[in-house]
Structure 1
Amino acid sequence: MARYIIGIDQSTQGTKALLVDEAGRLIHRADRAHEQKVNEEGWVSHDPAEIAANVLAVARAVVEEQGVDPADIAGIGISNQRETTVAWNARTGEPLCDAIVWQCSRAQEVCDRIAQREGAPEVIRERTGLTLSPYYPAAKMTWIMENVPEARDIARAGDLHLGTVDSWVVWTLTHGAEFRCDYSNASRTQLFDIEKLNWSTRCCRLFGIDPAWLPEVTDSDACFGMTDLDGFLPAPVPIHGVLGDSHAALFGQGCYAPGQAKATLGTGSSVMMNVGHELSRSQTGLSNSLGWRMGGETVYVLEGNINYAGAVKTWLRDDMEMIESPAETTDLSYAANPASRVYVVPAFTGLGAPHWNSEARAAVFGMTRTTGRAEFVRATVESIAFQIFDVADAMQRDSGVSLAELRVDGGPTRDPYLMQFLADMLRVPIVAAGNDEMSGLGAAWAAGIALGIYPADVARSVAPRAGWDAKMHENDRTARIKGWRRAVKAAIAFAG
């Protein structure tokens, strides 16, 4: 009997299911988008019920479309958009409000208020490895408790669940039997003590969050419960391999050793470096997190997050109407005037690492009368590489380790102009995965390893790669980086 793993990748733009065979190869994919809710204040939300329905729909579709017997499904792995925060009634299963997406900075006032408490930012940074920010779930949870009256009522009744998307998906797949999240997701909440490996009583108190509202934290490769996909499978199968999407991609990229790094380019971008079993604290504003905890061993990472990576191409298409598809940006970038020095700073919801300025707003610098569509598009594409450069530069200063290469994955890696420009800015080889599904595959492989289906080094044997080497003259590179840094400073200064 054949054995397959379903990898579910619940991302910001939609939900994908990957069907992975006994050799660890991706053989089919099904996906479904969900609504992106953005109001006039820039708040970004998702409907948790829509996400739960889509998880079931794609998991079923990937099996049916390939003609696989549902009885041959051995297990499920899950990767998820991180920091997006869900609140629901544990008794009825009803979400209390739309999920607050990681991009959303509506909880800035919460952070400003906590920052006024003597020593609070330092305590939060010390315990969680994260700089106080509305980016993380802690402040989003506080906002929900202060602005959704039903949440307070349900909390008093003892029925409140607050969690990241992995906990919501696990809860719905197990029909409410399991309220769990993994260590990688817990470490991104700004409520988890990354040294003691438990919910921080001090941080929870600062944010007004009762730990009883939070999920049980479980090893990333442990069994999170059983699911039959709402009756689709003839018998329940275990959910294993649950990780935040960037952590799953690090695992899928085979970055198992300290000093190995990857960048996942999706809606945003996560640049992450494995720093081993000991915590290495950042001095440059990067995040300290748990890469994963498997087999009882903890792996720590340094990470910098970028709010807008692939999303800038969506912006060019949907809002600016400069392109009809993201693929057009490659030809336009090559067609642009080589002498153009336009810089786009895509701070639509503030700037992430290493700047951490949620008040900054998007800006364009360096336009002249001859600046046209191609030059504007190219500058927007280059902003992705510049943001990754900022994080990689900080990461090397923090760790004291020079990058030998950067492994990348995600849809934007199909853009050869962007990949070459990234290699030129970093001056290291860029090594791209053979497909765009490293988050879902990483979770699927972790599940398969836990179930004894795959060898521990499955990522190295299955993932083909392509690469780009630096070509740009150093003087040109230096001038471009200097221009980018001036543009970022100006965008921050404009916000006051």
Structure 2
Amino acid sequence: MEDKYILSLDIGTSTIRSVIYNSKTDIIGKAFEQVILHYPKPGFVEVDPDELWQSIVNVVKKSLEDASLSAAQITAMGISTQRGTFITWSRKTGRPFHRFCTWKDIRADKLVTEWNNSYTLKAIKFGAYVLHMVTRSKRFRAASVFNFTNNQTILRLSWALHNIQALKDAVQNKEAMFGTLDTWLLYKLTGNKVHISDVSSASATALYDPFTMQWAGWAMQFFNIPFSILPEVVDTAGEHFTSTVPEIWGHAIPIRSCIADQTASMWGSCCFDVGEVKVTMGTGTFFNINTGRTPHASVSGLYPVVAWRLGNELVFSAEGASNDTATIITWAQSIGLFENPADTAEIAMSVPDTDGTYFIPAFSGLGPPYNDSTAAVGFIGIKPSTVKAHLVRAVLEAIAFRTVQLCTCVRAETNYVFNYVRLDGGVSNNDFIVQLVSDLTGLRVERPAQVEMTSLGCAHIVGLQLGIFKSKEELKSMRKIGTVFVPRPHIKKAYENTFRRWEEAVKRMCGWYQETQPFTTISDTKHSLTQQDNIKLAAMGEKGDYAK
């Protein structure tokens, strides 16, 4: 029987990967390139669409060469993309009005703060609370505690609509098109034939209501976002993605899936059943639990997203995020705490503790349970006896502690009983962090033999659509677990005071930039960087070996 080949294209925050799998999900070819990030002004984090397109074309070519295959031999391809990163372009010419505005971009921070403090939003939340008390609707419960954040698309899009004149003119003439990265990429790959978005990517924008499964009319009205610029929202897999135009790689390649990166990794980890959990430790840490056909209404800041929709199969996920993980590792390396990230676990274990030093990992603010975009990064408790190894250990402990907090939020808000976590992402290669997560959560942690689950998830869903794989049970049987970490109860007990003291340290850094000069006014002068700007921009640089 002739083998089938599936190409997975994964476009992350810092890396573009093209991986080719055979029918047994063995990797037979792969290639990667770094995403070039641009920082034209304080808080702006952009990707040039022309540079990105060229890198995508190149990386697929290299993976085909690595596999000794031609595009004609690829059975089909799947695509996964970072979420929240968006662009707008001309319906007439196809040219963008600006660079990609990435999910790490905080140019709309002033708008986020103003809206979260506005009487309008407070009135909406109060009204939603009253409706929840009357109807007990989970949708109104979620709305009663809703706050805008920088990594949501909605306010950055609003900023663009008000500040980019060419876009404003195109909107008035109904010639503008909007899309997250998946939408733009599908538009380019198909020769400008489709303007669509997978439901998992759309649901992460705050423009799409997972409770109604429609674009949120209230958001369109409040922010003057015309429906005419929005893509059609489609299922996660199917023939509606059509094929690439032959001119790109020499032969048309059928596209059979497009999915958000975090839910792609759920497929890679085979989290198909309600209550199953995966944690991705890449640029940030993302804790996802399968909630089945019910979107989760959170009061602690967990986000309800559509994991996937395949015809009648609709699956939701509750997600908690800590936006700085690999960024923290890269920053610590840049200031000379260590030379090689691979050495950090050994360095951390060279000392018995942190000597009372604690680290707060908040370059992009703090997610659940704090949900504080004004929190600051810092070491607390440094003494004359503190050495580099103590600081390294404090950094790694903080990453583990934030993961534990996300787990605690999920446990507090849901009735799901889970006994294990499936881990992936570059930072999951760090044994010290992973073992500590297992110890403090009391959960068995499974790390796969190959930690890039996003690419594998694409191959899984494409293969299932094409009949290469017969069922989800077959996919589960092919899972390759590399290392299992088992909790050590005595370590959890030994860490009780350390974890409590770390949480006290975090509280001291919350609201920090409300007390000083807040990072909300975007200067038009490239050189007018404050110390805080420089710290934040340093954190947004290249992600290195640990990046997802």
TM-score bracket, normalised by the shorter chain, equals: over 0.9
* CA deviation string 1:119-168 (max 9, x = no partner): 34578974987642221011111011112111111212322122211111
For residues 351 and 186 of structure 2, the distance between their equivalents in structure 1, rounded to whole angstroms, comes to 47
Q: Cα RMSD between the aligned structures?
A: 2.0
The answer to whether 1:363 aligns with 2:378 is: yes
User: Which residue number corresponds to residue 186 of structure 1?
Assistant: 202
User: Which residue number corresponds to residue 289 of structure 2?
Assistant: 273
Shift of 1:184: 0.7
TM-score, length-normalised on structure 2?
0.86
For residues 324 and 114 of structure 1, the distance between their equivalents in structure 2, rounded to whole angstroms, comes to 42
* Amino acid in structure 2 at the alignment position of 1:188: A
8 Å contact kept, 2:354–2:394 = no
Q: Any gaps of 5 or more consecutive residues in structure 1? A: none
For residues 417 and 495 of structure 2, the distance between their equivalents in structure 1, rounded to whole angstroms, comes to 18
User: Which residue number corresponds to residue 45 of structure 2?
Assistant: 44
* Amino acid in structure 1 at the alignment position of 2:244: T
For residues 31 and 127 of structure 1, the distance between their equivalents in structure 2, rounded to whole angstroms, comes to 43
Q: Could you say what secondary structure the match of 2:254 adopts?
A: strand
8 Å contact kept, 2:354–2:391 = no
8 Å contact kept, 1:389–1:425 = yes
* Amino acid in structure 1 at the alignment position of 2:492: E
The answer to whether 1:74 aligns with 2:37 is: no
For residues 196 and 299 of structure 1, the distance between their equivalents in structure 2, rounded to whole angstroms, comes to 14
Q: Could you say what secondary structure the match of 1:18 adopts?
A: strand
For residues 87 and 128 of structure 1, the distance between their equivalents in structure 2, rounded to whole angstroms, comes to 29
The answer to whether 1:378 aligns with 2:412 is: no
8 Å contact kept, 2:374–2:512 = no
* Amino acid in structure 1 at the alignment position of 2:290: N
For residues 113 and 121 of structure 1, the distance between their equivalents in structure 2, rounded to whole angstroms, comes to 15
8 Å contact kept, 2:199–2:234 = yes
* Amino acid in structure 2 at the alignment position of 1:355: Y
The answer to whether 1:490 aligns with 2:505 is: no
8 Å contact kept, 1:127–1:193 = no
8 Å contact kept, 1:121–1:131 = no
**1:17-416 correspondence to structure 2 within 5 Å:** 17-38=18-39, 41-115=42-116, 116=118, 117-118=120-121, 119-120=123-124, 126=140, 131-223=147-239, 224-228=241-245, 230-234=247-251, 236-318=252-334, 320-338=335-353, 340-416=355-431
For residues 109 and 142 of structure 1, the distance between their equivalents in structure 2, rounded to whole angstroms, comes to 12
Q: Could you say what secondary structure the match of 1:22 adopts?
A: coil
8 Å contact kept, 1:241–1:445 = no
For residues 169 and 228 of structure 2, the distance between their equivalents in structure 1, rounded to whole angstroms, comes to 15
The answer to whether 1:467 aligns with 2:484 is: yes
For residues 239 and 44 of structure 1, the distance between their equivalents in structure 2, rounded to whole angstroms, comes to 29
The answer to whether 1:446 aligns with 2:447 is: no
For residues 462 and 396 of structure 2, the distance between their equivalents in structure 1, rounded to whole angstroms, comes to 35
User: Which residue number corresponds to residue 6 of structure 1?
Assistant: 7
Q: Could you say what secondary structure the match of 1:317 adopts?
A: helix
User: Which residue number corresponds to residue 537 of structure 2?
Assistant: none
The answer to whether 1:430 aligns with 2:448 is: no
* CA deviation string 1:416-458 (max 9, x = no partner): 1111111112111111122122111111211121122223324
User: Which residue number corresponds to residue 480 of structure 1?
Assistant: 498
Residues 339, 139 of structure 1: alpha-carbon distance in 2 compared, 3 angstrom cutoff: closer
* CA deviation string 1:235-262 (max 9, x = no partner): x232122111101001111111111011
Shift of 1:92: 2.2
Shift of 1:214: 1.3
Shift of 1:229: 6.0
Q: Could you say what secondary structure the match of 1:422 adopts?
A: helix
For residues 485 and 75 of structure 1, the distance between their equivalents in structure 2, rounded to whole angstroms, comes to 48
Q: Percent identity, please.
A: 26
For residues 39 and 84 of structure 1, the distance between their equivalents in structure 2, rounded to whole angstroms, comes to 16
Q: Any gaps of 5 or more consecutive residues in structure 2? A: 129-138, 515-548
User: Which residue number corresponds to residue 544 of structure 2?
Assistant: none
Q: Could you say what secondary structure the match of 2:76 adopts?
A: strand
For residues 156 and 171 of structure 1, the distance between their equivalents in structure 2, rounded to whole angstroms, comes to 22
Q: Could you say what secondary structure the match of 1:37 adopts?
A: coil
8 Å contact kept, 1:406–1:431 = yes
8 Å contact kept, 2:337–2:391 = no
Residues 207, 484 of structure 1: alpha-carbon distance in 2 compared, 3 angstrom cutoff: farther
For residues 456 and 140 of structure 1, the distance between their equivalents in structure 2, rounded to whole angstroms, comes to 40
Shift of 1:39: 5.2
8 Å contact kept, 2:284–2:324 = yes
* CA deviation string 1:347-393 (max 9, x = no partner): 11211233211111211112111111111112112221111111110
* Amino acid in structure 2 at the alignment position of 1:362: V
Single out whichever of 39-48 and 301-310 deviates more from structure 2: 39-48
